[in-house]
Amino acid sequence: MTTRKSGLGRGLEALIPSVETTTETEFLHLPVERIKPNPAQPRSRFDDTALEELTNSIREVGILQPVLVTPGEGDVYFLVAGERRWRAARKAGLGTIPAVVRGSTGETTLVSALVENLQREDLTPLEEAHAYRQLLEDYGMTQEKVADRVGRSRSAVANTLRLLQLPGPIQAMVDGGTLSAGHARALLGVEDSRYAIHLAERAAAEGWSVRQVEDAVRARKEMTPKATTIRKLRPVEIIELEKRLGEHLGAKVKITYRNEKGRVEIRFGSIAELERLYRLMA
């Protein structure tokens, strides 16, 4: 797989939110078992082959770069950066591991973990999308602020978040690597979720290019009967509210408005997505 350029040229410290944190650091050799994975870690998958190679390297030459941790309750430390090194150290049978200990807030920990993974090893598109959503929902960031923190454009963040609007089976295909994010984004234009899943399965089985998926989506739209009645233009305010609400919820939103009344339709792709929307609005 081709390594994605992260574009994170400003350095780690430039991406840390401007919040009050404990800036004192110290270098220690910590027992491996006292270090725990960061609960806000965006990465959920680790390549077994790459992990085994790192383990063998650690057995031969040791750990050349310390992990970054933050103190937890008692004698526990949580990883901010370096989970692959920590996992490999455990597999190699090391009793202790070099670590830089730094005080940190929850927001700093999450952003640091996200930046660390983007710089060193690609997240899957869905892992990246979920990490961005966590920044939006748990820490009240806007898409612009998230983009600034991780060194991406706002459109790149928005396009990644759009993947979470796809039906569950398509998300699973992207997460499993059988369908690329580009293929999946092309399917966002299909209103019928069952047909979108059908196209996704064909694209994966037959090795379609993104262009072929786009052509299939376009053909589907051309087959859909068009309304013959002339519709009244929607107010600009309604269109803008529809856009803002969709961005806030991270879901497709449609507002039907007439005579000062109307309805709001929010689309979801899975039960988990519906539960997320419920928690967000509750």
Residues with catalytic annotation?
Answer: 83
Distances (CA, A) of 196 to 183, 204, 269: 11, 12, 11
* Residue 107 CB contacts under 8 Å (≥ 6 apart), including other chains: 17, 19, 139
Look up residue 204 and give its amino acid: A
Q: Residue 164's closest CA among 276, 30, 282, 14?
A: 276
Alpha-carbon distances of 160 from 79, 154, 167, 180, 258, rounded to whole Å: 25, 10, 15, 12, 33
Reported for 273-278, long-range contacts at CB under 8 A and 24+ positions apart, including other chains, are 273/164, 273/168, 277/249, 277/251
Q: Copy the structure tokens of residue 65.
A: 């770069």
